[in-house]
Amino acid sequence: MRSAAEIIDLWPSRADLARDLDVSYQTVSKWRLRRSIPPVYWKRLLISASTHAIPNVTAMALVDAHAGSPQGEVLAETLPVAPPIKADGHFTRYRHLARPRFKSISDVNAHLATLRDE
């Protein structure tokens, strides 16, 4: 088995698996889309597989399905690189959003009066 989606597909339906694991149908569908089954459900999944005589569902199969493969992994070389930030300060890239700096209390009062008039 290669993925968690393939393990999920071994059950007659997602509803059957959801009932066995005591989760909703939507939860199982999301697991299938994500290709990941949370480890907290692995024990119940193994019990359900043995109850329904579903072959090839073992703890090792679950581990292998979640260990990742070269096809599913995102390689570091393919990730976008953020542009370098100047070392002027922590919020340098947000400088254009900064409010004007006031040089005196009269500048502050004038600014407040303008805001009240708006």
* Alpha-helix runs per DSSP H in the chain: 4-8, 14-21, 25-34, 42-51, 59-67, 105-117
Specify the pTM.
0.55
Encode pLDDT of 106-116 as tens digits.
Answer: 877 887 788 88
Encode pLDDT of 11-69 as tens digits.
Answer: 999 999 999 999 999 999 999 998 889 999 999 999 999 998 998 898 888 888 888 64
Provide the pLDDT for residue 22. 93
Provide the pLDDT for residue 40. 92
Average pLDDT over residues 89-107: 63
Does 85 score more than 80 pLDDT? Answer: no
Torsion of CA 86, 88, 89, 94, to 10 degrees: -60
